[in-house]
Structure 1
Amino acid sequence: LEGWAAAGKGALVKQIVGYMDPRGFVVHPIWPATAQERQYPFMWRFWQRLPRAGQIGFFYHSWYTHVLEERLFKRASEPEIPIRLGQINAFERQMVDDGVAIAKFWIHLSKKELKKRLKKTAADSLKAWRVRSEDWQQAKNYKQYTAFAEEMLIHTNTEFAPWTLVEGNSQRWARVKVLTEMVSTLSKALDELHIQATPLTNPFQEQLKSREPDFLAEVDLTQSLSPKQYKKSLRQQQALLNKLQLEIYKHQIPVLVIFEGWDAAGKGGAIKRLTDNLDPRSYVVSAFAAPTESEKAYHYLWRFWKQLPEAGNIGIFDRSWYGRVLVERVEKFATESEWQRAYQEINEFEGQLTSAGYVLVKFWLHISQEEQLRRFTERQNDPFKQYKLTAEDWRNREKWEVYEVAVNQMIELTSTATAPWTLIAGDNKHYARVKVIQAVTEAINAQLKYR
Structure 2
Amino acid sequence: MLDSLDLKLTLDKETYNREIEALMQQLRSLQKDCWDHKLPVIIVLEGWAAAGKGKLLQKTIGYMDPRGFKVHPILSATEEEQKYPFLWRFWHKLPPKGSFGIFYHSWYTHLLEDRLFDLETDGSIPLLIRDINAFERQLGDDAVAIAKFWIHLSKKELKKRLKKYESDELESWRVRPEDWQQAKEYDRYAGFAEEMLTYTSTGHAPWTLVEGDCQRWARIKVLSQVVATITQALDRLRLPKTDIPSLPPQTELQPTEPDFLDKIDLGLHLLKDDYKQQLREAQVKLRQLQLQIFQKKVPVLALFEGWDAAGKGGAIKRLTDTLDPRSYQVHAFAAPTTEELNYHYLWRFWRQIPREGTIGIFDRSWYGRVLVERVEGFASELEWRRSYKEINEFEAQLTASGCVIVKFWLHISFEEQLKRFEERKNNEFKSYKLTEEDWRNREKWSLYNVAVNQMIARTNTPYAPWTVVPGNDKYYARVHVLETVINAVETEFKKRYLSLQYNLSREQ
Residue 370 of structure 1 corresponds to 415
- Secondary structure of the residue that 2:262 maps to in structure 1? helix
Give the Cα–Cα distance (whole angstroms) in 1 for the partners of residues 170 and 417 of structure 2.
69
Residue 216 of structure 1 corresponds to 261
Give the Cα–Cα distance (whole angstroms) in 2 for the partners of residues 136 and 365 of structure 1.
57
1:327 to 372, 375, 380: 372
Give the Cα–Cα distance (whole angstroms) in 1 for the partners of residues 171 and 74 of structure 2.
18
1:207 to 250, 266, 272: 250
Residue 93 of structure 2 corresponds to 49
Q: Which 5+ residue runs of structure 1 have no aligned equivalent?
A: none
Residue 221 of structure 2 corresponds to 177
Q: Please give the per-residue CA displacement for 1:29-85, whole angstroms capped at 9, x wherever unaligned.
A: 101111111100011110000000011110000011222122111112212101101
Say if 1:209 and 1:115 are closer, same or farther in 2 by CA, change over 3 A. Answer: farther
Which amino acid is the alignment partner of residue 283 of structure 1? Y
Question: 2:303 touches 2:363 (CA, 8 Å); kept in 1?
Answer: yes
Residue 27 of structure 1 corresponds to 71
Residue 132 of structure 2 corresponds to 88
Residue 282 of structure 1 corresponds to 327
Residue 313 of structure 2 corresponds to 268
Say if 1:292 and 1:44 are closer, same or farther in 2 by CA, change over 3 A. Answer: same
Say if 1:439 and 1:16 are closer, same or farther in 2 by CA, change over 3 A. Answer: same
Q: How much does 1:366 deviate?
A: 0.3
Residue 355 of structure 1 corresponds to 400
Q: How much does 1:197 deviate?
A: 7.5
- Secondary structure of the residue that 1:20 maps to in structure 2? coil
Q: How much does 1:132 deviate?
A: 2.0
- Secondary structure of the residue that 2:304 maps to in structure 1? strand
Residues 43-122 of structure 1: pairs in structure 2 closer than 5 A = 43-122=87-166
Note if 1:149 corresponds to 2:183: no
- Secondary structure of the residue that 2:197 maps to in structure 1? helix
Q: How much does 1:119 deviate?
A: 1.8
Deviates further, 185-194 or 113-122:
113-122
Residue 293 of structure 2 corresponds to 248
Note if 1:257 corresponds to 2:283: no
2:342 to 294, 297, 322: 297
Say if 1:183 and 1:404 are closer, same or farther in 2 by CA, change over 3 A. Answer: same
Give the Cα–Cα distance (whole angstroms) in 1 for the partners of residues 146 and 326 of structure 2.
40
Q: How much does 1:196 deviate?
A: 6.1
Give the Cα–Cα distance (whole angstroms) in 2 for the partners of residues 234 and 341 of structure 1.
40
Give the Cα–Cα distance (whole angstroms) in 2 for the partners of residues 128 and 429 of structure 1.
67
Which amino acid is the alignment partner of residue 38 of structure 1? Q
- Secondary structure of the residue that 1:165 maps to in structure 2? strand
Say if 1:65 and 1:197 are closer, same or farther in 2 by CA, change over 3 A. Answer: closer
- Secondary structure of the residue that 1:59 maps to in structure 2? strand
Say if 1:202 and 1:78 are closer, same or farther in 2 by CA, change over 3 A. Answer: closer
Give the Cα–Cα distance (whole angstroms) in 2 for the partners of residues 273 and 63 of structure 1.
39
Q: How much does 1:161 deviate?
A: 1.0
Residue 399 of structure 1 corresponds to 444
Note if 1:127 corresponds to 2:171: yes
Which amino acid is the alignment partner of residue 222 of structure 2? V
Note if 1:435 corresponds to 2:480: yes
Q: How much does 1:128 deviate?
A: 2.2
Q: How much does 1:130 deviate?
A: 1.6
Give the Cα–Cα distance (whole angstroms) in 2 for the partners of residues 112 and 195 of structure 1.
47
Question: 2:111 touches 2:192 (CA, 8 Å); kept in 1?
Answer: no
Which amino acid is the alignment partner of residue 166 of structure 1? V
Deviates further, 262-271 or 115-124:
115-124
Residue 505 of structure 2 corresponds to none
Question: 2:310 touches 2:410 (CA, 8 Å); kept in 1?
Answer: yes
Q: Which 5+ residue runs of structure 2 have no aligned equivalent?
A: 1-44, 498-508
- Secondary structure of the residue that 1:316 maps to in structure 2? strand
Say if 1:77 and 1:197 are closer, same or farther in 2 by CA, change over 3 A. Answer: closer
- Secondary structure of the residue that 1:243 maps to in structure 2? helix
Which amino acid is the alignment partner of residue 153 of structure 2? L
Residue 192 of structure 1 corresponds to 236
Over the aligned positions, Cα root-mean-square deviation in angstroms equals 1.6
Deviates further, 288-297 or 132-141:
132-141
Q: Please give the per-residue CA displacement for 1:256-282, whole angstroms capped at 9, x wherever unaligned.
A: 110000000000000000000000000
Which amino acid is the alignment partner of residue 126 of structure 1? L
Which amino acid is the alignment partner of residue 253 of structure 1? V
Give the Cα–Cα distance (whole angstroms) in 1 for the partners of residues 241 and 115 of structure 2.
47
Q: How much does 1:160 deviate?
A: 1.6
Q: How much does 1:198 deviate?
A: 11
Give the Cα–Cα distance (whole angstroms) in 2 for the partners of residues 119 and 209 of structure 1.
71
1:4 to 48, 58, 81: 48
Q: Please give the per-residue CA displacement for 1:386-416, whole angstroms capped at 9, x wherever unaligned.
A: 1100100000000000000000000000000
Fraction of identical pairs, as percent: 63
Q: How much does 1:207 deviate?
A: 3.2
Question: 2:246 touches 2:381 (CA, 8 Å); kept in 1?
Answer: no
Give the Cα–Cα distance (whole angstroms) in 2 for the partners of residues 133 and 367 of structure 1.
62
Q: How much does 1:192 deviate?
A: 0.7
Q: Please give the per-residue CA displacement for 1:107-138, whole angstroms capped at 9, x wherever unaligned.
A: 00111111111122222233322222221111
Residue 38 of structure 2 corresponds to none
Note if 1:380 corresponds to 2:421: no
Which amino acid is the alignment partner of residue 206 of structure 2? P
Q: How much does 1:209 deviate?
A: 5.1
TM-score, L = length of structure 2:
0.86
Give the Cα–Cα distance (whole angstroms) in 1 for the partners of residues 332 and 358 of structure 2.
17
